[in-house]
Structure 1
Amino acid sequence: MKIAVIDDYQRVAQGMADWSVLSGCEVDFFHQTLRAPDELVARLASYDVIVAMRERTRFPRDILQALPALRLLVTTGMVNRSIDLAAARERGIVVCGTPWAEDATVELTWALILGLAHAVPQEDASLRAGRWQSALGTSLAGKTLGVVGLGTIGGKVARIGQAFGMRVIAYSPHLTQERADTVGATAVGKQALFAESDVVSVHMILSDATRAMVGADEIGHMKGSAFLVNTARGPLVDEAALASALRERRIAGAALDVYSHEPIDPAHPLLHAPNTILTPHIGYVTHEVYRAWYGAVVEDILAYRAGQPIRRIEIAPLPRSP
């Protein structure tokens, strides 16, 4: 059995699990993402098993049809919208996942919020340039946190906001006050959330219904002193509208960990927008998460070899907040 572990950006996957238990298997690790379909197929055509790191590489129908040897596709996490599950099922390809780990994303969300509020990147650069105290920060106590998407991650972000003494409001298309009560938040309408929040943090699942749900209109309702944070999925936010608002100083700043196309294009306007903190989709990139995920990947492969696949992903789940 030939196994391809793809999109190992940091060259760490080999050390994150005991791959030696896959006796008789050839395991290859690839560190560069290939966007061109013909190049991707040429690389992976001979592999029986492909291990995908989240949604870094897409597996639509045409790609799956061009991989004749593929029998098992393992993704980290239990949701991967870059895989055409119907096409995989038609071709007899088993798709398995791993347990999810959301705490690292919650932690990064608050690192970005605090970095914006206290101007950490600017002060760091200023200090290194020989200056002392060049900006004024913003205290979060008494401010309003708006959480867009009150699922597992959004709920934890909301609870932490209360620990900072913030008023917490929340919105999602089907949010009830009963659900909001479980994390001490107040359910509000979409326009009210953007108009009232001092910090807007986005935590929705990406679907056709939520794509670009934070657009020019929503950003236009934000306070001039407000911050926008997105650690969910890039296409949830209209990046052109956000870049324009930042350049024109219509909002105070933004922090993003996710982008419509990843890795981000070096010419992307957000890279040159003021008052931003930009990270390369690291909300799940920790030692602990990688060890858990790659360890579970090995378990998935062993179970498949034994004829008893575990953590199978049979159908695409309905869109919901993460």
Structure 2
Amino acid sequence: MKKIVISEFMDEAAVHSLRQRFDVRFDPTLFLEPSRLAAELADAHALIVRNRTQVTAALLDAGPQLSVVGRLGVGLDNLDLAACAARNVAVFPATGANAQAVAEYVIATALVLLRGAYLRSADVAAGAWPREALSNGREAAGSVLAVIGFGGIGQRVAALARALGMTVVGYDPQQPADAPCWRSSGARALPLDDALALADVVTLHVPLVDATRNLLDGERIARLKRGAVVINTARGGTLDERALAVALREQRLAGAALDVFADEPLPPGSPLADAPNLILTPHIAGLTKEANERVSSLVAERVAAALTHGAPDAMRSAVSN
């Protein structure tokens, strides 16, 4: 019986379905003990991870029989894709399964930050009545949303934003200006700096690669509209956290929501720790009850099929690009 190692949390129903056909070692804390994880991989045929397991060349070498890695999510920056390709290990992300969850997170935090009225509950509970201070919030309708990265999640965000009456502009070098996705979503493709210049809300949906590291750097943050809102559910490292914190303290930005960070968990002394009008969440934008079930089920099905029938060449080829 082929063996599957699962090193982070996975929906129990999906784990149960795999146990019907495979020897499954499921320990959601296994990523915390690299030596024990490596030992479990010695006779394993598949590994299933989220974003905290670092699938390095050395880890792959610990599993000489590995042929499949399932990724419970869509980001691949914790996987050494070149090493996977060199070892003929197919990678299966859960593409599309958590798009709705992330899109709803983006829209919800945008509404909270634009309105500016929902972070003063403690003051009201203490007897204060900041009615005047909270009476100048903004409506989403009529504002401009800049979607930076216009893949499946970015397109879902655009659809929800358009339903609220927002104007959507976007930037994605992988999507030419005449790509059908722009027309079907009602968004307008622009160069990056032009999209940022128009934005009341900026949302990032790009992978972390050399070209996107600090894409929203201090210079670009300084050029955003006064009162703009920034949301990052993509990857830490795609924006300059220190520059963002300074812009919030100087009240050049109205607020921000970060679900991802350059270092996770957030280290002591982070410049973000005391920045105002900042929503911080622990990399959970794509995690809802429904999304967890979809992601886990999809990855379980793909890993099981690959172990039973072999991984399709197309996936192996895609991983190596």
Give the TM interval when normalised to the shorter protein.
0.7 to 0.9
Q: Which residue of 2 aligns with 1:109?
A: 106
Structure 1, unaligned stretches of length 5 or more? Answer: none
Return the alpha-carbon distance in structure 2 between the equivalents of residues 293 and 259 of structure 1. 22
- Give the structure 2 partner of residue 267 of structure 1: 269
Q: 2-side partners of 1:289 and 1:271: how far apart?
A: 29
AA at the equivalent of 1:100: G
Distance 1:318 1:119 in 2: 45
Residue of structure 2 aligned with 1:183, choices 179, 182, 185: 185
**Structure 1 residues 133 and 4 mapped into 2: Cα distance closer, same or farther (>3 Å)?**
farther
Counterparts in 2 of 1:267 and 1:33: CA distance versus 1, 3 Å: farther
For structure 2, list consecutive stretches of 5 or more residues without a partner in the other structure.
none
Contact kept, 8 Å, 1:142 with 1:166, in 2: the verdict is yes
Q: Residue 13 of structure 1 corresponds to which residue in structure 2?
A: 11
For each residue in 1:55-82, what CA deviation from the matched residue of structure 2 results, as whole angstroms up to 9, or x when unmatched?
A: 3222121221233453432222466232
**2:76 aligns to what SS in structure 1?**
coil
In structure 2, the residue corresponding to 1:178 is in which secondary structure? coil
In structure 1, the residue matched to 2:78 is 82
Query: What is the match of residue 4 of structure 2?
Result: 3
Mean Cα displacement is larger for which, 263-272 or 233-242?
Answer: 263-272
1:143-222 to structure 2, matched below 5 A, reads 143-173=143-173, 175-179=175-179, 180-222=182-224
* Shift in Å, 1:108: 0.8
Contact preservation (8 Å) 1:85, 1:314: no
- 1:177 Cα offset (Å): 4.0
Measure the CA separation in 2 of the matches of 1:146 and 1:26. 43
Q: Indicate how the Cα distance of structure 1 residues 302 and 231 shifts in structure 2: closer, same or farther if over 3 A, else same.
A: closer
Task: Please say if residues 78 and 313 of structure 1, whose CA atoms lie closer than 8 Å, have aligned partners that are also in contact.
Answer: no
User: 1:305 deviation in Å?
Assistant: 4.1
CA distance in 1 between counterparts of 2:311 and 2:126 reads 56
Distance across 2 between alignment mates of 1:315 and 1:128: 58
2:194 is matched by which residue type in structure 1? A
Q: In the aligned structure 2, how far is the partner of 1:165 from the partner of 1:202?
A: 20
CA contact (8 A) 1:6 1:30 kept: yes
Deviations 1:71-101 (A, max 9, x none): 4322224662322233224334343344522
Distance in structure 2 (CA, Å) of the matches to 1:63 and 1:128: 52
Please state if 1:57 is matched with 2:58.
no
**Relative to structure 1, is the Cα distance of residues 119 and 42 closer, same or farther in structure 2, using a 3 angstrom cutoff?**
farther
Separation (CA, whole Å) in 2 of partners of 1:117 and 1:208: 31
Q: Using a 3 Å threshold, how does the CA distance of structure 1 residues 310 and 189 change in structure 2: closer, same or farther?
A: closer
1:229 positional shift: 1.0
Alpha-carbon separation, structure 2, partners of 1:43 and 1:131: 57
Residues 154 and 95 of structure 1, relative CA distance in 2, 3 Å threshold: closer
What percent identity do the matched residue pairs reach? 34
1:123 to 120, 125, 150: 120
State the AA in 1 paired with 2:7.
Answer: I
Question: Cα distance 1:70–1:159, how it changes in 2: closer, same or farther (>3 A)?
Answer: closer
Counterpart contact for 1:105–1:284, Cα < 8 Å: yes
Secondary structure of 2:244's partner?
Answer: helix
CA distance in 1, matches of 2:140, 2:294: 34
* Structure-1 separation of matches of 2:208 and 2:100: 19
In the other structure, the counterpart of 1:293 is 295
Change (3 A) 1:87 1:267: same
Equivalent pair of 2:235/2:261 in contact (CA under 8 Å): yes
SS at match of 2:59: helix
Partner-residue secondary structure (3-state), 1:223: coil
Distance 2:148 2:72 in 1: 24
* Partners of 1:28 and 1:309 in 2: CA distance: 22
CA, structure 1 residues 240+313, in 2 after alignment: closer, same or farther (shift >3 Å)?
farther
Please report how far the alpha carbon of residue 150 of structure 1 lies from its aligned counterpart in structure 2 after TM superposition.
2.4
Shift of 1:23: 4.2
Equivalent residue in structure 1 for 2:38, among 41, 44, 50: 41
- AA aligned to 2:108 is A
Q: Is contact 1:106–1:153 with CA below 8 Å preserved after alignment?
A: yes
RMSD: 2.9
Distance 2:224 2:261 in 1: 21
Deviations 1:261-314 (A, max 9, x none): 223324322132111111111122112222222223333343344343469731
